[in-house]
Chains A and B, each alone.
Chain A
Amino acid sequence: MIVGALALVIGSAAIGIVVNQVSPRGIPLFSTTAAADSPPAPALPKGMRGVDLPEARSSFDEHAALFLDARSPEDYAEGHVPGALSLPAYEFDGRFPGIADRVEEAQSIIVYCDGVECSDSIHVAERLVEYGFPDVSVFESGWRAWAESGAPVSEGAEP
């Protein structure tokens, strides 16, 4: 029974690795470090660009990008990047029309959620790419890294 279980685990894992290599949604087997001072993180979907904290901060300081907060409205109200618009991943269809004009005006868009482990920012970024926005990035380390870095924050339901 134990031999069978081991064979099942090894065989299934091997299938998974092989399928991942040929799948269009495949990811690198091992994570890679995007920046020297940040820990390795899971891969973003193919074709999606990530920005680290320094790049996000630079875009913020230079007003070079519109920030979108993909977390819940409650989390947004507790604290968000100043000027960021709230666009929760699970309320995208309901909320996007209300902010579409401002998003369309933006040269560049940076989406964030809590941190590396969350996927809400990726969901929102994928929808924006589907809508045809050309410059959409994901700030992977997200709100947690932003707040811990001492960067400016805003509170409340308004940007």
Chain B
Amino acid sequence: MDQQVSSQPAARNVTSVERKGDRELVVTRTFDAPPRIVFKVWSDPDLFRMWWVPKGAPMKLLACDMDVRTGGKYRLEFEAGGQTMEFFGKYLDVVPDERIVWTNDEGEEEGAVTTVTFQDQGGKTLLTFHEIYPTAEALEEAMTGSAAGLPIQLDQLEELLSTVSQ
């Protein structure tokens, strides 16, 4: 009986990742809940930290401060392999249940701007995660710059995925 409850729905929602043009990355996914709920899970720090770093990932989220409103700030602190990393920025535009736009200011140069939109589709939510880099070179650098460490990253992700129930 319990197995029925915890089993995944037959049709899984597909995560799509695409490069759009030479400066943008777009991730889309449908969720089986209205935008009100999906927005809450993205904007409440206690809920956000439950999924942003999936269980079993080779990194830990140490701190998660988010003041999700236009002009508010965020700061995420991770620990991976004995090192801590910080990600921070500002919310440029927040419309509850519709969209969140933030800057990524941790780098030395101008960072990407991330926009997440929540579109109602008859009680479900089409989520679009969109990153736009200031220049084509910045996106190129983000991709090639991380390439050296990437085989390891891919292996870690494989390890991670094996711990996440499919």
A and B bind: no
